[in-house]
Amino acid sequence: MKRVVLITGGGRGIGAATARLAARHDYAVCINYLRNREAATSLVRDIEDSGGTAFAFEGDVSKEDQVVKLFEEVDWACGRLDALVNNAGMLESQMRVEQMNAGRLQRVLGANVIGSFLCCREAVLRMSTEYGHSGGAIVNLSSAASRLGSPGEYVDYAAAKAAVDTLTLGLAREVANEGIRVNAVRPGLIYTDIHASGGEPGRVERLSSSIPMKRGGTAEEVAAAIMWLLSDEATYVTGAILDVTGGR
């Protein structure tokens, strides 16, 4: 029987790269998306055309009722959950802290922090040996911003990802004796369209000279780290935060 992974925000970027790699590792892949149904369904078709199993489910992870519905749809489609990749997240346009209003903060913290907590909660209920299940693995997507702060650009996003780091450390210890491993991947400057959503599509190129490896990373390189943490090669790894940053 195939193991089942749910990847939030899985229709594009790092999420999509992880979905493709998980399918190649013989996972049944559940792809969550917020708005871009076309991208998610196209990814499902690509995976199925390559002999894999995939499903697409719409849902806003910052909304509790939609998270509950999302996990119920995974239950219905697959009957189990073995892995969660908490990838859904967002940032807004570059600005300083004194320019930020409460609405922006609520959106950024809702998507990145509340969504991660809610999805972890639902995953634990489906994985923990305390609830009669056989365990599983969770990988949260953090960011190098959590330790760099993103001054003048995204301090709110950086703070949200620092909360994800702390969630990872605390939850890992809560469920370590219940068959669940919880880790995080902390990408650096990666070529995805998140930079365009922040108002600077060429941000990776602008900052690449600050990276010891002198280049931005790819979504596939981050996906490889995520899949290692989910794999049986990492069975004694929990509470770890793995930087994928080119040395930055």
Whichever domain contains 194, its CATH number is: 3.40.50.720
pLDDT at 9: 95
SS3 label, residue 93: coil
Strand partners, 190: 217
Structure tokens at 36: 């871009």
pLDDT at 69: 98
Q: Reply yes or no on whether the pLDDT at 82 is more than 70.
A: yes
Q: Which helix (H) or strand (E) holds 42?
A: helix 37-49
pLDDT at 193: 65
pLDDT at 199: 57
Helices (H), 51-154: 64-78, 102-109, 115-127, 145-148
Strand partners, 30: 6, 55
pLDDT at 206: 79
Across the chain, mean pLDDT equals 94
Q: How confident is the model at residue 170 (pLDDT cuts 50, 70, 90)?
A: very high
Average pLDDT rounded to a whole number, residues 169-185: 98
C-alpha 194/C-alpha 190 separation (Å) is: 9
The single residue listed with the structure tokens 């370590």 is 176
Structure tokens at 7: 């990847």
Q: How confident is the model at residue 152 (pLDDT cuts 50, 70, 90)?
A: very high
pLDDT at 197: 56
Q: Reply yes or no on whether the pLDDT at 231 is more than 90.
A: yes
Nearest of 170, 193, 107, 183 to residue 141 by alpha carbon: 183
Average pLDDT rounded to a whole number, residues 186-211: 74
Q: Reply yes or no on whether the pLDDT at 247 is more than 60.
A: yes
Q: How confident is the model at residue 99 (pLDDT cuts 50, 70, 90)?
A: very high
Instruction: Give 161-206 as a DSSP string.
Output: HHHHHHHHHHHHHHHGGGTEEEEEEEE-SB-STHHHHTT-TTHHHH
Average pLDDT rounded to a whole number, residues 51-62: 97
What is the total count of domains within the chain? 1
Q: Reply yes or no on whether the pLDDT at 239 is more than 80.
A: yes
Nearest of 14, 18, 13, 42 to residue 29 by alpha carbon: 18
Average pLDDT rounded to a whole number, residues 153-170: 97
Which residues are marked as active site?
157
Lowest mean pLDDT among 89-93, 104-108, 137-141, 159-163: 89-93
Provide the domain limits for residue 11. Answer: 3-244
Average pLDDT rounded to a whole number, residues 200-209: 74
The two beta strands, 180-187 and 83-86, are unpaired
Q: Reply yes or no on whether the pLDDT at 194 is more than 70.
A: no
